[in-house]
A and B are shown apart, each in its own frame.
Chain A
């Protein structure tokens, strides 16, 4: 089963039966670091860690899908993409006001499941 690394409760619940969900209540930056750890173990990224048109630090949520298999040990593409993403988030803001969290969570979910809104 493929692995979803996320800090978004909506994604955790929506994908609970579909992916092996690794949920942690940590910042987007630390989610990306976790993704990098998995890539070093041989998992490949299936979705781009910088999906969406929001600059780093705009949304608190980050969800990245990885292969369940660990046969991507030499995948330079996965490593490059994740390294660049981690770098982009180094200085990203980590404090967010409560009032827009629901919308950010929905947007983050829609990147991985474009039709999810039809079920919510």
Chain B
């Protein structure tokens, strides 16, 4: 499959009367977006704000971050297939991206919520979304709505806004065009007979309310481990419904810009063959964990991989899935490198993972989520600070007299991301 991606550089977002992309600025008419969102009766009110890199702004509680993208020159394929558009297979043809822009959804779904993005100060270094121009969408649900209904409404609204903005780039000439291509197995081998065939196993968080991931509209916890073409992921085939574990969840933006996929494509045909991608789930029941990891190992063997990279999402019980995947894949003779993060206590001396295995002898870490950071007061808060004491990584009475807040890194969106989409690691 071959996908051409045109990147349109966005350096600013402005509110105005029109919706358009011109001269690197994304112009947004709020009324158009309001109409789009309020067509869902579950949402009572919506408002918008803009947060730019370097501003004294804190956004919280963040639910999802989404990059505006669109399919070009096709009526058949659409971004976020099976969810917002037809279920038609994507990952081919041409896609335009508003690079440097992001849609950030923000709102309280349950009484405890999490996810901080600081646009400046020390916290900004820990989240990639301090470097994007963010259109923040703030929701107020209808009274007495159930959390699962609200989560779905909010998730869909974010995707709709991102797709709407992405469509504004359909006719714009991109600043950069990149091509990503995967070949059928036999052609790979014929073209690069001496290179190792390396696969990628992506584990997706799938535990239930507020912890789900969707693939072509399928709730991934209901799926067997399966295969996907990496270019499909770039077109929004995987979207996040995961509102928990801010530091190491994969937002939809992370999926669209998966750095493992990017790096594997970069090396494809040079030091390795990017031979295929497997997606698997992280369920609650031990039987599901056994079945899914059995299938991961089986597919790795069937594909004849010479090695795989395995990435995790979340922490705690997914550590068990990670170790099962690692051990079983190694047992069928395929060497692994795993990417995870650590909960090693505030002083870094506790056991990092909830589960371990001797087979995990090549480990990349995204950092220690328990590390404590003081976030200075910001001039402006988009959303509310009402929950910073109950968010994961927050603690009671953590707001200081000077307005600064003390949190663990796990409160910051993407701080210890397990796709490697962050700046922390260890050697």
Contact = CB atoms under 8 A, between A and B. Distances in A.
Interface of A: 44-55, 58, 65, 77, 80-81, 84-85, 87-88, 97, 99-100, 102-104, 106-107, 110-112, 114, 117, 120
A100 B286 contact: no
A53 B287 CA distance: 19
A12 B245 CA distance: 27
Contact of A53 (B147, B221, B242, B286): B242
Contact of B245 (A53, A100, A112, A120): A53
A114 B281 CA distance: 15
Nearest to B212: A114
Contact of A110 (B112, B208, B286, B315): B208
Given A50-B354, A53-B245, A110 B316 contact: no
B362 interface: no
B363 interface: no
Contacts of A81: 286, 320, 355
A110 B245 CA distance: 17
Nearest to B316: A50
B286 A84 contact: no
A51 B110 contact: no
A110 B306 CA distance: 39
Contacts of B215: none
Contacts of B112: 58, 100, 103-104
A69 to B, nearest CB: 14
Contacts of A44: 286
10 contacts: A53-B207, A54-B244, A55-B315, A58-B112, A88-B354, A103-B147, A107-B208, A107-B210, A112-B284, A114-B221
Contacts of A58: 112, 390, 392
Given A58-B392, A114-B209, 9 more contacts: A47-B286, A53-B207, A53-B316, A77-B286, A81-B286, A97-B390, A106-B209, A107-B147, A112-B284
B146 A117 contact: yes
A77 B320 CA distance: 10
B111 interface: yes
B392 A47 contact: no
B421 interface: no
Contacts of B285: 46-48, 65
B355 A110 contact: no
Nearest to A97: B390
Nearest to B249: A53
A111 B207 contact: yes
A80 to B, nearest CB: 8
Nearest to B345: A91
A46 B314 CA distance: 20
A107 B148 contact: no
B320 A53 contact: no
A84 B343 contact: no
Given A52-B207, A53-B211, A99-B111, A46 B244 contact: no
Contacts of A77: 286
A52 B393 CA distance: 15
A84 B354 contact: yes
Given A53-B207, A84-B355, A100-B390, A48 B410 contact: no
Contacts of A99: 111
A109 B148 CA distance: 12
* A-B pairs, 8 with minimum CB distance: A100-B111, A110-B209, A53-B244, A48-B317, A53-B245, A103-B110, A110-B208, A50-B316
Contact of B410 (A55, A85, A120): A55
Contacts of A107: 110, 147, 208-210
Contacts of B211: 52-53, 111
A21 B147 CA distance: 26
B377 to A, nearest CB: 24
A81 B287 CA distance: 14
Contacts of A88: 316, 354
A47 to B, nearest CB: 5
A97 B390 CA distance: 10
Interface string B13-47: 00000000000000000000000000000000000
Nearest to A106: B147
Nearest to B244: A53
A55 B289 contact: no
B147 A48 contact: no
A51 B207 contact: yes
Contacts of B244: 52-54
Given A58-B112, A114-B221, A45 B148 contact: no
Nearest to B321: A48
Contacts of B390: 58, 97, 100
A106 B148 CA distance: 10
B366 to A, nearest CB: 15
